[in-house]
Amino acid sequence: MTTIFDPIKLGDLELPNRIIMAPLTRCRADEGRVPNALMAEYYVQRASAGLILSEATSVTPMGVGYPDTPGIWADDQVRGWTNITKAVHAAGGRIALQLWHVGRISHPMYLNGETPVAPSAIAAKGHVSLVRPKVDFPVPRALETAEIADIVEAYRTGAENAKAAGFDGVEIHGANGYLLDQFLQSSTNKRTDQYGGSVENRARLLLEVTDAAIEVWGAGRVGVHLSPRADLHDMGDENLAETFGYVARELGKRGIAYICAREHEAADSLGPQLKQAFGGAYIVNESFTKDSANAWLAAGKADAVAFGVPFIANPDLPARLKADAPLNEAHPESFYSKGPVGYIDYPAL
């Protein structure tokens, strides 16, 4: 019976186990959103993961929405990431870069006074993360059709820079209510051009971005992150099964390495039908334990499992799970703070 400790091939990536480190925003980059030595130590500590999916990394200055998250558009950012990939590889690990644009989930304070961009001028309910006193999300500016090619090119450049920095692949962040998800779902996309209306049009940008990454990397080193539950950042779609089923089929035609989906056991879970529609490796992520992860693998519902918070608190998570050792308790108050505390000081076995 397949378990999380068995090796797996994801596209062109050979992994020693199926325990994936989920992308985790930690807000530790230096000024200019430059990755640093502290981040390198953090990732090296977690190099026993089958694959590290990096924290979400912005492909353009207009795609940021949080303090001190890293970028991949500038030379000094590429140099910073190069130091990290070299260190992870020296420790025997594998790491892919998650490419990100937040779209409307931002604020002019992060954008040099500019208004955030989105498919349509619809504000997200809620407030800007990590800002106190609370500040509501602003009404974004709808992208002009002519501007969308620039978004695709920003992702292409991000993919090229990730390759230059020595990553093993890239993951397109199409989840959690950020820009590509905003285009995909009908509640946030009211466009009347070729990027709005039908599911084929709403999925167009995500697929164009994926195709750009494939041109840089080859399909076997490109993954896509989706959130078919549409439960973050005020999202919604008139037919989630149709929308995400179409995306899964189209990604399957392209032969990408994997889909990673925020998914858990629920009566309305789309996971099994998306996995079937995709036909490739399907990684699930959210609140899994060793036992539930192995149960999903045994049932054929997933091919690998991504762990988030457990990897924050347990740098040696695969060894702990293998030994049935107790897990360290996570400290959420330091998830997004500065410096090493709550970042690189969780003990290994």
Q: Give 59-70 pLDDT, tens digit per residue.
A: 999 999 999 999
Q: How would residue 269 be classed by pLDDT, with cut points 50, 70 and 90?
A: confident
Q: What is the mean pLDDT of residues 320-347?
A: 98
Q: What is the mean pLDDT of residues 138-159?
A: 99
Window from 98-107, 154-163, 267-276 with minimum mean pLDDT: 267-276
CA dihedral 102, 264, 39, 319 (to 10 degrees): -170
Beta strands in 139-287 (DSSP E): 141-142, 169-173, 222-226, 258-262, 281-285
75: tokens are 């030379």
| pTM reported for the whole predicted model | 0.98
Q: Percent of the chain scored above 90 by pLDDT?
A: 95
Q: How would residue 286 be classed by pLDDT, with cut points 50, 70 and 90?
A: confident
Stretch (H or E) spanning 305: strand 304-307
CATH architecture of the domain with residue range 8-334: Alpha-Beta Barrel (3.20)
Do residues 311 and 49 make contact, with C-beta atoms less than 8 angstroms apart?
Answer: yes
Q: What is the mean pLDDT of residues 3-12?
A: 98
Q: Which residues are the active-site residues?
A: 178
pLDDT of 19 over the 90 cut: yes
291: tokens are 């036992």
Window from 220-234, 242-256, 261-275, 332-346 with minimum mean pLDDT: 261-275
Cα–Cα nearest to 119, from 183, 175, 201, 62: 183
Q: What pLDDT is attached to residue 262?
A: 86
Window from 9-13, 30-34, 271-275 with minimum mean pLDDT: 271-275
The CB-side HSE value for 98 (13 A sphere, CA atoms) comes to 26
Give the whole-angstrom CA distance, residue 255 versus residue 277. Answer: 12
Mean pLDDT, all residues of the chain: 97
